[in-house]
Amino acid sequence: MRNFGEFQDAIYTAGIGGEQPRFPFLYSDLKKRAQEILDPRIFDYVSRGSGNGLTQTKNVEAFQTYGIMPRMLRDRSVRDLSVTLFGRKLANPIYVAPVGVLGAVHPEGDLETAKAATKLGVPLICSTLSACRMEETRAASKGNLDFFQLYPPNDPELSEHFVTRALNAGFDGIVITVDTGQLGWRPHDLQKASLPMHYGQCLANYTSDPAFWRLAGVRSEEELTIEKKVTTWDRYFSDPTFSWDHVKKIRAMTKLPLLIKGICAPEDARKAIDCGVDGIICSNHGGRQANGGIPALDSLEDVIEAVPNHPVLFDSGVRTGVDIVKALALGATMVGIGRPYVYGVALGGQAGVEFVLQCLLAEADLTLGVDCYASIAELREYGLKRVEFLSTHSEGLV
Ligand SMILES: Cc1cc2nc3c(=O)[nH]c(=O)nc-3n(C[C@H](O)[C@H](O)[C@H](O)COP(=O)(O)O)c2cc1C
């Protein structure tokens, strides 16, 4: 395939033979179809955010405060959407953001996602919260650029084990998520008094680790009752004292790329680089953690300006290929996909994730093509204009 947009030609061509697409194209339909098949407690866990959902909504609406300026009659036959991350050239500018409940959304959610990302060459960030062990996920994504995402637990040995295991498993780097020192206030989960992990779901990295067994007072995985798993996880999942000194300790464990996810303040981005971190993920966790109202996209330019010599990846609120184009135009090194692919995995495992990622890439590419930008560099030169809200209608978009 020369351009990602050719995905649409394949669909129209199949249509001539009577073949209809298996999955929906619009995000709102994707979400609706996922809602029809998912257990309501899982659907709410995925789809809702913290507090009244203001930050989550604003994340999405923020993209509407930019418009892309079309240019005309310039050669756009081949579009270059490639980027370079830590010396590795990648054909596309998106990555799969870490999501901790893929195994609750689909029985093989972690592996199906890993296979889809690997097939398409889309980098993957694997969550600490996973229904299969990180070693298994890594085995399913051989050759792909994959990072292990660490939720720093409240026990130094367990934390060290997670990092060491990730390095031994062959991950290409570590992402430390720093916006989850404690779980945010999530009324929809509270209303059901439900967290997937309290059903013992997605704890495989913990339950397979000898440090976790020690914390649970057992000697092997077999001895872990559901109650022991859940109470131990509850107690040690997060570390509200996690600080820059802890980051430096993890830095000292590896020379592989280290990224920090959950940064919005430029001062924090600079601090991270001072601690030896290699890259920043500007994100507010899709509005699931703190409901402060500020959309993550509004922080992106300032964060990039604060650390001009380091990659700044972005996620939170990306729903369409056009959103990808806008985040790239603002300077993001790569753009992370969250909830859309989770609905994809719910609907069709690997095929569902592939479909969602291919649609996003095709729309991004065709947007560049129609607007006559042949590369991200060209787009950055001219492409973006700040506008009034194009619409305040966000129903179905979030
Ligand atoms: C259900 C769900 C679970 C998530 N789990 C994790 C996680 O385990 N680790 C992490 O760093 N971020 C996690 N995130 C945040 C995503 O990595 C990403 O920041 C977020 O989905 C972006 O927002 P969006 O989905 O609205 O675009 C999770 C997000 C969702 C929706």
Q: What is the pLDDT of residue 1?
A: 66
Q: What is the pLDDT of residue 392?
A: 60
Q: Judge whether 56 and 112 are in contact, CB under 8 Å.
A: no
Ligand 1 closest atom vs CA 175: 11
Q: What is the pLDDT of residue 88?
A: 97
For 16-22, the CB contacts below 8 A with 24+ separation are 21/355, 22/348, 22/351, 22/355
Name the residue type at position 182: Q
- Report how far residue 364's alpha carbon sits from residue 318's, in angstroms, rounded to the nearest whole number: 12
- For residue 317 and ligand 1, the question of a CB distance below 6 A is answered with yes
Q: What is the pLDDT of residue 76?
A: 95
Helix, strand, coil percentages, rounded to 5, for the chain: 50, 10, 40
For the entire predicted model, the pTM comes to 0.98
pLDDT tens per residue across all 398 residues of the chain: 689 999 999 999 999 999 999 999 999 999 999 999 999 999 999 999 999 999 999 999 999 999 999 999 999 999 999 999 999 999 999 999 999 999 999 999 999 999 999 999 999 999 999 999 999 999 999 999 999 999 999 999 999 999 999 999 999 999 999 999 999 999 999 999 999 999 999 999 999 999 999 999 999 999 999 999 999 999 999 999 999 999 999 999 999 999 999 999 999 999 999 999 999 999 999 999 999 989 999 999 999 999 999 999 999 999 999 999 999 999 999 999 999 999 999 999 999 999 999 999 999 999 999 999 999 999 999 989 999 876 666 678 89
- For residue 285 and ligand 1, the question of a CB distance below 6 A is answered with yes
Walk me through the domains of the chain, giving residue ranges and CATH numbers: 6-386 (3.20.20.70)
Q: Whose CA is nearest to atom 1 of ligand 1?
A: 46
Report how far ligand 1's centroid is from the alpha carbon of 372 (Å): 33
- Report how far residue 138's alpha carbon sits from residue 140's, in angstroms, rounded to the nearest whole number: 5
Ligand 1 closest atom vs CA 317: 27
- For residue 286 and ligand 1, the question of a CB distance below 6 A is answered with yes
Write the Ramachandran bin of 331: left for phi over 0, alpha for psi from -120 to 50, otherwise beta.
left
- For residue 338 and ligand 1, the question of a CB distance below 6 A is answered with yes
Q: What is the pLDDT of residue 377?
A: 96
Report how far ligand 1's centroid is from the alpha carbon of 146 (Å): 16
Q: What is the pLDDT of residue 293?
A: 85
- For residue 313 and ligand 1, the question of a CB distance below 6 A is answered with no
Query: Hey, which of 31, 182, 288 would you mutate to test ligand 1's pocket, going by the most ligand atoms within 8 Å of its Cβ?
Result: 288
C-alpha radius of gyration, the chain, whole number = 20
Report how far ligand 1's centroid is from the alpha carbon of 343 (Å): 13
Report how far ligand 1's centroid is from the alpha carbon of 202 (Å): 14
Ligand 1 closest atom vs CA 60: 26
